[in-house]
Structure 1
Amino acid sequence: MEARKVQLAGGATFTVSLPKPWAREQDVEAGSLLYLSSDDDGTLVVKPGEGKGAEWTATIDVTTYGSEQIRETIRASYIGGVDRITLVDRNGHDAHRRAVIADTVAELSGVDVFETTETQIVLRNLIDARNVSIAKNVVRLRLVALAMQRDAVTAVIRHDRTLAEQVIDRDREADRLFTLVMRYFRRSLADLRLVERIEESRPELFEFYYVARQCERIADHAGKMARIATQQSTPPDDTFAETYAELASRSWRIVDTASGVVLADADVETAYRTSITCDELVADVETAERELYTYESASEAHRYGVLLDSVKRTAEYGNNVAEMAIQREIRETMAQ
């Protein structure tokens, strides 16, 4: 780290010189435009600018790509913050390729097919960052994930295949919300103007991203339980069903309470209590898991064990959110 003294110029302006090696590396010269952004901790970030409102673009030759490579390329470009993606196939995009692209686009918020030719398909993000509320999207993701969990447990206990399939379908909505949050978090690391437009600091964006990540994992476990509901031939026995429902309900409360501290400014003391509650739940789940050794059917015991593991994981993800809430409280205290 290099230290430089602040100078007073003209009696009213503070100035500091830029390191010449850095300026040359960034093609900065007299008259160049630099963007300055200050964080809550007092850090000032300096970044060369390409011009106000510059669009991030990417042109990718996908001639030799298979369907999964196409999907991953589009998703990676979107998450990376690209505004305009041009997919080039020198041999021409066939009907199957176009269908794969359309299906992938449908899974991403704000993206649409902007232009098509025989050899090029242009995708463009249509959402203005100023119209995006990261906090609201995370709150919505939390609601979706918890609703999926409740319905998945109900589907298992009632042996409701239709409800289970609905839970599995809703996993796409959870993925779409998480991908949107991840896009803006990733881009904020490199685009200072974006941070100003969405009116969230980078530490806050990281916290929202982290909570969204836990919620996305909770939704995945809901889908996992729902798939078990579609595969079981009979509902679980009453004893297990009662234990499973009670433990699952406690895990939801942990997630709901912990996320409320980050997303709704609830009392941080709640986050400290959540850690104790989670430990108690994990111990009770492990007790229930040991009882599965008494089951005569190995396949049934295994199925129940997977369900209990998802309950435990859900609680642990909620506890991760509580830990984030505590870290945020400490960060804000230090900033005062």
Structure 2
Amino acid sequence: MRATGGFHGRKIQKTGGSTYIISLPKNWVTSRGLHAGDVLTFAPRPDGSLQIQAEELGSAEVVRRVVPISNDMDEEHLLRRLIAEYIAGSTLLEIRTTTRMSARTRDIVRGFAQRVIGPEIIEETAESVILQDVVGPNPLPLPSVIRRMHQMARAMQSDAMAAFHSADASIAKDVIERDREVDRLHWFMEKQVNSALRDARVLTSLSVTLPDCSTYLLASRLMERIADHAVRIAGTIPLFQKERPPAAMVAELERMSEAAATALSEALDSLERRDIEQANTVIDAAHSLVRERAHLLQEVSTKRGRMAVGLAYVLESLERSALYAGDLAEIAINHAVETPSAMVGRPMAAPLPKP
């Protein structure tokens, strides 16, 4: 039968009384260098399709990239380039300069290797550093990554508010440093999703569907943003060293923080359970917190100077965290509708124990 729109139609034939067979497109067989007697692998997909591979699962192609750089390259620019190469799925990355690589450049590359999951330095020369991804295609299930990011983001927000309550610079510093752990998990999520979109074998090994990949990536981005706002709250502590905010205002902000954290946890639960009713409850709660923010903003406007700036930053970050929880709940609704047979009550994946 003719191919239409890139799809090849073949009639199912029956042989031997119990075996069903189909023929393979000749162009595909020859382009893959296959011959009679070669073995193909088959993998049923959750959407009902059947995946056929010419290689054994796990023999994914090694992606080698050479990244030419200069020693005078801006540090942030170099880090962004290396992170982009990592997210793109490069399994073997050679960072190369045209002249001897400076100590500063090597330090930046080493710092990058410490900030991401997988790449390790396996070779160095005068002009290059070579990194290889040593963790394999599926070291962490994607649902576990999301649950871990949630635990970290919620703990960071709680500790940031503790630092705000006591004006403790050491707690604030710890919150800021922990943001790197959330970033590395988010970059790892981006890398895994990109790999799954590019290679169906990776998608199979992750035991997820393409809609799952989109959902997890969106959820990961929201967790990363919430962690960023925890860092922003921690960064306000120097503004309160000379003058402490009123106790009543601190109590209101702490209550708002706890409500936002609860909304985030319930949004994640609704995503895992595909529970539309629970997700709608979270969205309503997030909108309620936004209305409360308007009332608190009036009180903040009565303050002056550094006090007013610090309180406004804290209030805005808590509002954004609540809205991100609402966004996650909307994602949960969308994902539940994509899989109507499991809209309520059945987990999307086995969740990790809650903290």
Task: Report the TM range for the smaller structure's normalisation.
Answer: 0.7 to 0.9
| TM-superposed deviation, 1:47 | 8.3
The equivalent of 2:11 in structure 1 is 7
1:301 to 304, 308, 323: 308
Distance 2:24 2:83 in 1: 41
Which AA in structure 1 matches 2:329?
A
Give the 3-state SS of the residue equivalent to 2:130 in structure 1: strand
Number of the residue aligned with 1:139: 147
Find the counterpart in structure 2 of residue 240 from structure 1: 249
Q: Secondary structure of the residue that 1:7 maps to in structure 2? A: coil
| Amino acid of the structure 2 residue aligned with 1:226 | A
One-letter identity of the residue aligned with 2:255:
E
CA contact (8 A) 1:28 1:48 kept: no
- 1:28 is matched with 31
* 1:4 to partner: Cα distance: 5.7
* Equivalent residue letter for 1:228: T
Deviates more, 1:210-219 or 1:198-207: 198-207
For the 8 Å contact 2:196–2:202, the answer to whether it is kept is yes
Per-residue deviation at 1:72?
1.6
Structure 1 residue 326 and structure 2 residue 329: aligned?
no
Q: Distance in 2 between matches of 1:211 and 1:45?
A: 27
Inter-partner Cα distance in structure 2 for 1:167 and 1:245: 17
Deviation per CA, 1:5-47, whole angstroms, max 9, x where unpaired?
A: 43245653234758x7xx7xxx936638998776534456788
Alignment of 1:15-164 (within 5 A): 15=23, 17=25, 28=31, 31=34, 39-42=45-48, 52-63=59-70, 65-164=73-172
Q: Tell me the C-alpha RMSD between the 2 structures.
A: 2.8
Q: After superposition, what is the alpha-carbon deviation per residue over 1:137-194, rounded to whole angstroms, capped at 9, x for unaligned?
A: 2111100000000111111121111111111111111111111111101111101111
Residues 256-299 of structure 1, C-alpha deviation per residue, up to 9 Å, x if partnerless?
11012224x2744211111111111111112211232333x144
Aligned-partner Cα distance in 2 for 1:274–1:258: 6
Per the alignment, in what secondary structure is the counterpart of residue 148 of structure 1?
helix
Contact preservation (8 Å) 1:165, 1:230:
no
Gaps of 5+ in 2: 344-355
Q: Give the aligned residue type for 1:258.
A: A
What does 1:310-321 correspond to in 2, within 5 Å? 310-321=317-328
- For residues 133 and 179 of structure 1, do their structure 2 counterparts lie closer, same or farther at Cα, with a shift above 3 Å needed? same
TM-score (norm 1): 0.88
Under a length normalisation based on structure 2, what TM-score does the superposition of the two structures give? 0.83
SS class of match (1:239) = helix
Structure 1: 5+ residue stretches without partners:
none
Aligned ranges 1:223-302 → 2 under 5 Å: 223-233=231-241, 234-263=243-272, 265=273, 267-295=275-303, 297-302=304-309
Q: Relative to 1, partners in 2 of residues 1:98 and 1:4: Cα closer, same or farther, differing over 3 Å? A: closer
Seen in structure 2, the aligned counterparts of structure 1 residues 36 and 302 have a Cα distance that, compared at 3 Å, is farther
Q: Which amino acid aligns with 2:253?
A: Y
